[in-house]
Amino acid sequence: MSISRRSLLSRTAYSGLLCLILVALTACIRPTEIARIPADPIAAKETWTRFINTSARTEAASGPFRLNGTLYYSGNEESQRVLVYFWGNGDKETPLPLRLDILMGQGSVMAAVNEVSHGLFIHVPRDETVYYTEDNNLLAFDVPVPFSLADLAMLVTGRYALLFASPDLEIAPPFHNAAQGEDGTILYTVADVPLAGKISLDSNGLPLFWTDGKDWTLTIEYWPDSTRPTPRKLHMQHAKGRQATLIVRTLDHTAPFTPKQLQLPVPSQTPLVPLAARQ
């Protein structure tokens, strides 16, 4: 059977196009989707143990903190670069209350946020209004950070086990079904925890990647040439494109903050309005 030159070229072009499609699809696959090979059970258990022990040491040394950083975030139509100041007493039982100031520039406050046990209070000076919501997630204020201030405090201070590890690990330890990830990482599936999903740990037991398995991913980068278990950068991304990157400039341990320092400095007669009314 003879094959025409045109037919051969068509098949070659088709094969080339198919290869390009496969390459493109492979590039879109997330780390959680390519980690299919079961991890060595001994390595998986040892790495998880390092994770728990490192987090426990950080937890034992935790206390009042103050963070200065830069937050870059973008949505479908806009991008922002803001300064953030974040502080709290880092109480071992409950981190609340917590305070976060978002500034457009030095001295120009875009929003002052206060998380308490029953929700968020957000003072927006431009609106001359304090908004409140029972939803503690910062997404409620249209900032693409899929965490509460309490979650964020645990992340920036390296208290990871409080977010990713269950106190009932003896019942279903995550290392039994761990998968081998890229560059020697190990991927664990965690459930019944504040941030359920999949978490990738490096050989030192530090988390590098998390996904809720549906919409959000978190990538953690650490300080270069340092053994600090606290992150230098947090990159959060939604499947539809919204994303935010928090770059930590400084993280200090301070004297305990007073109750007044953890409240919103709101002028008298400022109206209190449900946040839903601002949307």
- Count the Cβ atoms, other than its own, within 10 Å of residue 226: 9
Helix (H), strand (E) counts: the chain: 5, 14
- Nearest Cα neighbor of 34 from 180, 253, 213 is 180
Q: For residue 107, what pLDDT is reported?
A: 73
Let me know: does 246 contact 82? Beta carbons within 8 Å.
Answer: no
- Single pTM value for the model: 0.85
- Count the Cβ atoms, other than its own, within 10 Å of residue 208: 20
- For the segment 156-187, what is each residue's pLDDT rounded down to a tens digit? 999 999 999 987 655 457 888 899 998 899 99
- For the segment 202-248, what is each residue's pLDDT rounded down to a tens digit? 999 999 999 999 999 999 999 987 788 999 999 999 999 999 999 99
Q: For residue 3, what pLDDT is reported?
A: 38
> Domains (ranges, CATH) in the chain?
35-278 (2.50.20.10)
